[in-house]
Structures are given as structure tokens and as C-alpha cells.
Amino acid sequence: MKAVVTGADGFIGRNLVVALRRARVDVADIDIDSPPGALVPAVRGAAVVFHLAGVNRPEREAEFFTGNVGSLNTLLGALDELPATERPAGRPLTVLSSSTQASGDSPYGRSKLAAERALEAHAARTGAPAVIYRLPGVFGKWCRPNYNSVVATFCHNITRGLPVTISDSSRSVELVYIDDIVAQFMTHLEGRAAGLARGDVRPTFVASLGELADRIRAFRAMRDTLLVADASDPFTRRLLATYTSYLPPGDLAYPLQQRTDARGTLAELLKSPRFGQMFVSRTNPGCTRGNHYHDRKVEKFCVLDGDALIRFRPILGDEVTEHRVSGTDFKVVDIPPGMTHSIENVGRTDMIVLFWASEILDPQRPDAHILEVLRG
């Protein structure tokens, strides 16, 4: 299958081209630096043309129509040059990326509306299939900051410790995620009936500029607080992916605060009121951790390296249970409430263990009561 992408070097274009090529689609990518006349041979034999080319921040107002209407007319002219044997049944589907601003009265919005009407007229005249998408603000990886995306600007600045300027924190913006757009566009590889249709991308999200900045600042604070974002929320999940994509490559690694004593070292990894917390320890040979029990907290131990002996005893009983676990096992051991427990490094090398606890440690109410597993 062959597809054409105009504006292939833009934000949406780059993401779409990657997805198309991953699906083994033959992609003809057209952009501003493509040679004159490249569209005519590109559209021949194409199943679908994604018209993403356009302008939104030109130096002169007249360039809105040149970039948004003129570029589409150039494409439609190339489609009209298809051999008669390929018309109308052989015409490719044209997918137009428009904007929700087409319903407004700004120069940009008027140019987008004019482009929609040009495609409508072309579809009515030729019977060729066409789909128009009115997209709100788009966010995601590879969007240019300090240009026309507030999310890209916030992510770029906050990842670098730069200030963000908000003129009206209560102003709301509607947003759609780049991968949701790409996924919807990819459905058009399956073809579409002749005529004009209106497309829709879901989900979309609405947030105030103040809320948006606060969410992104919270992502940056995660390295200090260890409080992870709520990944069950679709908007948060997409926003976190976007934020992370703007981290400078040299800033992807960061240290954890370590607590060290005679037994070894321990560091907290992640915390959340929804899932509790995770931490990791390195324990010296012959040393033991634990010898305490919990009233309500549940834990899981996973030995990643070394050899461990995990012991349990009911706090109201005498029977001791032992589990010998090695880092080669990838075995998880559950730690129930009401059972005093310990973990001993019985190997010759350091023992590394990953822990999960069902709640975040509260130093005022730690729910860890000292009690030796082995009596006497």
C-alpha cells in the first residue's frame, strides 16, 4: 500500500510517517523542501493522501491563505492530473487536517475553513473520497516548543528549570494527543466510500492553563517527592509521556536518597497513595533486616541478586516458616500482617532486594512493631 503525507516534517507528519512505515506502508513524504512537481508522481498509485501541510504563524496575514488554501489547491491539482483510467474509482482518499478554529473568525480560522470548502467542492465535483478532521490543540512528543503548543512550551521549560509565563491561568484549552490522532488516521488505510465525511478523534481533554502548568510541575517534582502520577487517568498518562519526551538526554538519570547503616543501604523508589511504595535495599553478607511485624500493611519481597533466607512466625505462635530465595529465582514472597518476619543475607555477596508496601510509610504511624522471629 502507498500513502502520501504532505507536511511530513511537521509535528503530526513526523509521528504519522513513523507509524505508517512501521506498518510497512510505502510512504511518499512531501514537505516544503520537496522539489516542484513532486506531488504529481507521488499521488499516482496512492491509496490515501494525508494533507497536513499548512501554516499557523506566518509573518504576513496573507500567508495564511497561501499556506493553508494554496497548498491544498496544489494537491487537488495533482489529483486532477491522475490518468483518466484512475478516475474516479482510483482516486486516493484525501484526509485533511483542519482546526477547531475554522469555526472562528481569526485569519487562521478563516483560512482553514476556506481549505475545508475547497476540499468539499473537489469531492462534490469528482466523487473522490475525502475526510476532514477539525483538531483542537495537539500535544505529544516532537512538538516544537515556544511556537504554537502550550503543552510543548510548558514541558520544554519545566524540564529545564525555566519559568513559564501564563497570562490567564483560568483560560481553558481543549487538547488531543498525537498518538490518538495517528491511530485514527491509520484506520483510513482500510479505505472509505466515495464522497465527503467528517472525522473525529477521541478522547479530547480540557484543562485550564494553570492546571496544565501545575500538572507538569508535579512531574518534575516526582524526582524529589517520589510521588508518581496517577497513570489510571488517561490525560495524566498522555501528559506524562509528553513531559518525559522533553527531558534532555543528559538529564534522564537521577540519584536516589540513600539511607546507610551497618547492614547496608536502602533507597525509596516510588510512592503513591493509590499503590503504596517501592524501595530497594543492598544488604551485606551475614546481615539481617526486619524482625518486625505489621498490623495492616502488606509487603512483597523480590530478591534480585544474592541469596536470602526469609523467616516468618505468627506473633501469637511459635512455628517458624522459612523460604530460601535466590536472585536467580525471580520469586515474590508475600508478607502478611500479624506475622513477624526477617530477611537474612545467607550468601557470600551483597543481597539486593526489591520491596513493595501497600501504603506509604508514615513516620508518625510506621506500623512496624519490633519482634524477633527466632525466640531466645
Work out the number of other CB atoms within 10 angstroms of the CB of residue 129.
Answer: 21
Measured distance CA(172)–CA(100) in Å, rounded: 14
Q: Nearest to residue 174, comparing CAs of 132, 194, 203?
A: 203
DSSP 319-348: --EEEEEETTT--EEEE-TTEEEEEEE-SS
Locate all alpha helices (DSSP H) within 261-312, ordered by sequence: none
Query: What are 49's three cell numbers?
Result: 493522501
State phi, psi for 258 to the nearest 5 degrees.
-110, 140
SS3 state at 129: coil
Place of cell 510506621: 366
Radius of gyration of the chain (CA): 29
Q: What is the DSSP letter of 227?
A: B
Among candidate residues 191, 193, 271, the one with its CA nearest the CA of residue 229 = 271
Q: Which three cell numbers stand for residue 271?
A: 510512592
Residues annotated as catalytic are: 108
Q: Distance between CA atoms of 222 and 161, rounded to whole angstroms?
A: 14
Q: Which of 37, 105, 97 is nearest to 67 (CA)?
A: 97
Beta strands 172-177 and 196-199, pairing class: unpaired
Residue 276 neighbours by CB under 8 Å, 6+ apart: 356, 357, 358, 359, 360
The set of cell numbers assigned to 300 is 512483597
Q: How far is Cα 202 from Cα 98, in angstroms, rounded to an integer?
A: 15
Q: Which residues make Cβ contacts (< 8 Å) with residue 98, sequence separation at least 6?
A: 112, 113, 115, 116, 132, 133, 134, 135
